[in-house]
Structure 1
């Protein structure tokens, strides 16, 4: 039967030294073990003023062009997710109850986009539609609801503009007719045209009382196109 061989007494390592070495090794392994890496978030766009991307401020009749350009700008900065898709911000806190840096980053990005929206539309749109908005998503939805040519609200508003045409005394006839034609064309462009005869009647109804004699003569004609009415009214203005 074999026996265990022990090192001679002068070669034996004291127990305290073994324990100290073990603790030291454990501490060293802890120090070199991989640590959790902080969450890497994309930097916010450095371009605060994006006016250089737009040649003019958006008005009611230029919404579609503005929307297309604005989406391009968001795509350039890779932040279109703020207003398209689900647009759902990250949770404010992580599972360990610490503040979620992604949530804070989302809020700053979202507020930057809201600033971009308000700075690229006309002051009247900001005043009438966007003043109460506190988020980019809210502003985006309101603009689309009121200014998208295909929305029911916009179509009704455009029809109301035609029915309520009025030539101001300080307004030239040419300007009055061109403005009316732009409203008429906007309905045709989105697939909701109105008969030209109705359009002509809206224009005539918006004339001031000094054109009453002209209107009476006009109604003696069997029909009048817009182009014919344009020439007749511009000539009549010169006779006033």
Structure 2
């Protein structure tokens, strides 16, 4: 009975549970970007809207029985569920804005994500299940080239890009000492990562099933690669 009591008191809710809702959004959004690369913008938008609709309806179905006591309609429950998802999205946006503002990255921006998104994207894009030894404090971040630089890196010199990668990685180490970053782009950047000081065990790069011709939207003609970067190689071995 003591154990039951503890579960109903100190174990009733843990602080990390408040990340559940931004984590939901952070699991879905990385798929949007890669669905854009795979199928195009319109199909990706429709698929993601459908996924969010499923989430809202599912949450409304959970809420609705509790509202029956007040004779509230399912439409009201749906609206409440939509509000919860909207707040979750705003909290996710806030987390991203905070970390990127604090970091002052030169080349990239980070978006809060989850291990689930990373593992499923590994299967979707490269047909690989990634073994990831992690700690309870590990966080996962979807990494992107800043929008104004996407498809424009050819305007930067090699030295500028390497310096920016080194700067951004050091900032990530300072702010996120136990994190895994992942992303997908046309071109692997492998040599640039190495010249910026990243060690081999920190970086995993895989070819993807995204057709090379889809890179033309970025003004490029290169294969797409999925990469995983361990910010703290002492704790993560991919």
Asked if Structure 1 and Structure 2 have the same fold, meaning a TM-score greater than 0.5 normalized by the shorter chain, the answer is no
What is the TM-score of this pair, normalised by structure 1? 0.27
**Which of structures 1 and 2 has the larger relative contact order (alpha carbons within 8 angstroms, sep 6+)?**
2
What is the TM-score of this pair, normalised by structure 2? 0.27
